[in-house]
Amino acid sequence: MIGICASLEEARWGAWQELAVLLPHVYTLGVQRAGGIALMLPPDEHAVRDPDELLALIDGLILAGGRDIGPAAYGAQPHASTADPCPERDLFELSLTRRAVERDLPVLGICRGCQLLNVALGGSLEQHLPDVLGHEEHSPAPDVFSDHDVRLAPGSRAARAAGEVHHTVKSHHHQGLGRLGEGLEAVGWAEPDGIVEAVERSDRRFAVGMLFHPEEDPESPVLASFVAHARAARDEREVPA
């Protein structure tokens, strides 16, 4: 049972336009292809106060992509390019992530989810990478993924999940990681600019963040590897003492 955090967005379908819970189909499809059951998790005020009740129902947590995290979450003022946040989603996912890591529940953060994992553990973000890098190659246009190379640390959980150390990935992010959160280590770097593209907690079963989008690559084994970790964690919990 894989919980995937979903966004709250204004959406139009048929004759209707209203606030909707949204999640790109590639996330749920990737989980289902790996033999998992995908559950959309909308922001929930009760879970902000008590995340354990929800986390007890799932075997793994995916933090999906989406809009920028509110800079107040990491003690910063908004950059001019930072999009308006969704406070309900931020609070929900921060609470869920902190407790999931404490419980050693498998966690995979993708793009915004990688940033969220970092912030949840006390880290910060670079709010606009073009100011740092001098180029926009990680987010070339509003609806376009960039293709660039990533180098993953040999032996890292991220490399084992991806199945290789050097490969081409799809990215779409104008923000990056600043100060790393507690216990996180950098295990992936974009080439050639060297920005951190993957982080993980080596003291946890699986707590990995990837700024790139493995779910957009049908050949990527990342989601299948994550589901396998979640299944193993479930089976371990169910073994009688």
- Among the options 173, 215, 216, 229, which is catalytic? 215
What residues does 107 pair with on adjacent strands? 61, 207
- Among the options 138, 174, 213, 229, which is catalytic? 213
Active site annotation includes 114: no
- Among the options 111, 126, 138, 173, which is catalytic? 111
d(CA 179, CA 3) in angstroms, rounded, equals 27
Read off the tokens for 176: 């990056």
Check residue 72 and report its DSSP letter. G
Pairs from 136-143 (Cβ < 8 Å, separation ≥ 24):
136/174, 137/193, 138/171, 138/172, 138/173, 138/174, 138/176, 138/190, 138/195, 138/211, 139/171, 139/172, 139/173, 139/174
Active site annotation includes 215: yes
Active site annotation includes 166: no
**Alpha helix positions (H), 56-202:** 87-103, 112-120, 129-133, 157-162
d(CA 202, CA 230) in angstroms, rounded, equals 16
Active site residues: 111, 213, 215
